[in-house]
């Protein structure tokens, strides 16, 4: 067990505070021989990086990753994983700790200030310390490695709701996701969100969001009953992200309102080893084990608790007071949660891929490309 590790055979351990000298993670158990470079990891970090639009925090962090161990040149001179721990480190360069003097002794509502103080008796209050979403950069870095562990795996995410505004799923276009500052697959919704978020931002408020992650190319058989279910571990991984309050797989909470015949995905003859499911209410997982269909997960992020409006609270001596949270904050942390959610799903899949291979000896020799061909394009149908 560990309080700051995640995964089993593919395992990450993260460390660092928002305003400390650096943050980092150790990726342990990665298979050897996987080509990986700092540039490749950086490309994912750049998606999560703050300050890229007016809709995210203005803190200027280059989030430059360094690989400190676990990668070495193979006989062909290519940098590959060696099977030993991969230490990834990101220096903090734009911390403004003075912004946080006011909250040293006050507990911000919706934040972990009170609970950390009660649990540990001491806390690094600067930029929320360990409770800061800054830690998630290390997850994205680790996720970049994880993505390469499962041959043929593709993990993509999108924002599907901002505040009360949901996308129209009929407009879903994966290409659109990278063409707006919201990772929104519905160009029309993106316009509505832009107006909505301008308003939220100007009023010093914040808003929640829902993110959807879709993984395709997932081999059949990942996961295990019971207590090591693939959906269970995906939910665990997503719930471990700051501000997440709900997680669902496939039809999720909507399944509660369905009948058995509506919900259970019928099966038809398909390519050998890859039957065709006529729908994907299951989100690609049955009995905790992947079906070969796309794995579909969604998670809800609460509105940022750091807002400019004064709020009732107490100080550490128990006195009633008010607090206003300055500092540079995301009006909607859900936006940057997209690459983070992708990373966590990739990490869970990498872990279960290795666990499955360990227990059963099965590798991914199945024709993943064939699989992708016949899969329904609307993974959430």
Q: Which residues are annotated as a binding site for FMN?
A: 130-132, 242-243, 287, 302-306, 328
Minimum CB separation from a second copy for residue 66, in Å? 8
Burial (CB count <10 Å: 0-12, 13-18, 19+), residue 284? buried
DSSP secondary structure string for all residues of 119-186: HHS----GGGGGGSGGGHHHHHHHHHHHTTTSTT-EEEEEEEEETTEE--GGG--GGGGGGSTT--S-
Is the distance from CB of 31 to CB of 149 less than 8 angstroms?
Answer: yes
Question: Could you give the 3-state DSSP secondary structure of residue 42?
Answer: helix
DSSP secondary structure string for all residues of 343-361: HHHHHHHHHHHHHHHHHH-
Footprint on residues 36-65 left by a second copy (CB under 8 A): none
Minimum CB separation from a second copy for residue 154, in Å? 20
Q: Which is nearer to a second copy, 170 or 257 (CB)?
A: 257
Region of residue 78 (left: phi > 0; alpha: psi -120 to 50; beta: else): beta
Distance CA 335, CA 162 (A): 9
Element of type H or E holding 189: helix 187-202
Q: Which is nearer to a second copy, 173 or 309 (CB)?
A: 309
Please identify, among the stretches 52-60, 70-78, 171-179, 373-381, the one whose residues bind a second copy according to the rule CB under 8 A.
70-78
Binding a second copy (rule: CB under 8 A), the pick from 171, 192, 286, 367 is 286
Annotated binding site: 48, 54, 130-132, 242-243, 287, 302-306, 328
If one asks whether residue 202 binds a second copy (CB under 8 A), the answer comes out as: no
Please identify, among the stretches 57-65, 77-85, 169-177, 367-375, the one whose residues bind a second copy according to the rule CB under 8 A.
77-85
Q: Which is nearer to a second copy, 11 or 336 (CB)?
A: 11
Distance CA 373, CA 378 (A): 13
Binding a second copy (rule: CB under 8 A), the pick from 46, 188, 198, 267 is 267
Tokens 């721990």, residue located: 85
Q: Of 13, 331, 7, 236, which Cα lies nearest the Cα of 141?
A: 13
Minimum CB separation from a second copy for residue 312, in Å? 4
Q: Which is nearer to a second copy, 175 or 318 (CB)?
A: 318
Minimum CB separation from a second copy for residue 45, in Å? 18
Please identify, among the stretches 57-65, 94-102, 175-183, 263-271, the one whose residues bind a second copy according to the rule CB under 8 A.
263-271
Distance CA 176, CA 126 (A): 37
Distance CA 233, CA 231 (A): 5
Minimum CB separation from a second copy for residue 262, in Å? 8
Annotated binding site for NADP(+): 48, 54
Distance CA 232, CA 348 (A): 10
Footprint on residues 306-345 left by a second copy (CB under 8 A): 306-307, 309, 311-314, 318-320, 334
Distance CA 111, CA 131 (A): 8
If one asks whether residue 11 binds a second copy (CB under 8 A), the answer comes out as: yes
Element of type H or E holding 13: strand 11-16
Binding mask 20-39 for a second copy (x = CB under 8 A): xxxxx-x-xxxxxx------
If one asks whether residue 247 binds a second copy (CB under 8 A), the answer comes out as: yes
Q: Which is nearer to a second copy, 175 or 240 (CB)?
A: 240
If one asks whether residue 185 binds a second copy (CB under 8 A), the answer comes out as: no
If one asks whether residue 14 binds a second copy (CB under 8 A), the answer comes out as: yes
Footprint on residues 223-242 left by a second copy (CB under 8 A): 223-229, 231-233, 235-236, 239-240, 242
Q: Which is nearer to a second copy, 175 or 364 (CB)?
A: 364
Footprint on residues 98-157 left by a second copy (CB under 8 A): 107-112, 114-116, 118-124, 129-131, 135
Name 95's bridge partners: none
Q: Which is nearer to a second copy, 194 or 224 (CB)?
A: 224
Distance CA 281, CA 261 (A): 11
Minimum CB separation from a second copy for residue 187, in Å? 21
């Amino acid at each position: 067990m560990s309080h700051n590790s995640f995964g089993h055979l593919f395992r990450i351990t993260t460390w660092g505070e928002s305003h400390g000298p650096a943050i980092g993670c150790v990726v342990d158990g990665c298979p050897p021989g996987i080509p990986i470079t700092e540039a490749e990891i950086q490309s994912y970090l750049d998606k999560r990086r703050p300050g890229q639009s007016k809709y995210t925090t203005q803190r200027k962090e280059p989030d430059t990753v360094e690989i400190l161990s676990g990668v070495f040149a193979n006989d062909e001179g290519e940098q590959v994983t060696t099977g030993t721990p991969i230490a990834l480190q990101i220096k903090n360069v734009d911390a403004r700790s003075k912004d946080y003097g006011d909250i040293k002794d006050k507990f911000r509502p919706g934040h972990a200030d009170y609970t950390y103080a009660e649990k540990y008796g001491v806390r690094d209050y600067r930029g929320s310390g360990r409770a800061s979403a800054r830690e998630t950069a290390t997850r994205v870095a680790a996720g970049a490695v994880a993505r390469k562990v499962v041959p043929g795996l593709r993990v993509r995410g999108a924002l599907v709701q901002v505040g009360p505004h949901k996308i129209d799923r009929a407009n879903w276009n994966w290409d659109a996701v990278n063409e707006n500052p919201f990772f929104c697959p519905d160009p029309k919704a993106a316009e509505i969100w832009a107006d909505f978020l301008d308003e939220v931002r100007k009023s010093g408020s914040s808003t929640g969001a829902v993110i959807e992650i879709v993984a395709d190319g997932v081999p059949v058989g990942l996961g295990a009953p019971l207590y090591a279910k693939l959906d269970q571990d995906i939910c665990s991984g997503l719930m471990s992200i700051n501000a997440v309050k709900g997680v669902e797989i496939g039809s999720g909470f909507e399944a509660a309102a369905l009948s058995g015949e509506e919900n259970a995905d019928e099966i038809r003859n398909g390519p050998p080893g890859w039957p065709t499911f006529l729908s994907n209410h299951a989100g690609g997982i049955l009995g905790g084990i992947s079906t070969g269909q796309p794995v579909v997960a969604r998670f809800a992020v609460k509105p940022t608790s750091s807002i400019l409006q004064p709020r009732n609270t107490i100080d550490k001596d128990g006195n009633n007071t008010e607090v206003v949270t300055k500092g540079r904050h995301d009006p909607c942390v859900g936006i940057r949660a997209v690459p983070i959610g992708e990373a966590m799903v990739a990490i869970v899949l990498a872990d279960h891929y290795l666990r499955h291979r360990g227990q059963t000896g099965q590798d991914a020799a199945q024709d993943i490309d064939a699989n992708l061909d016949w899969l329904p394009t609307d993974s959430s149908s």
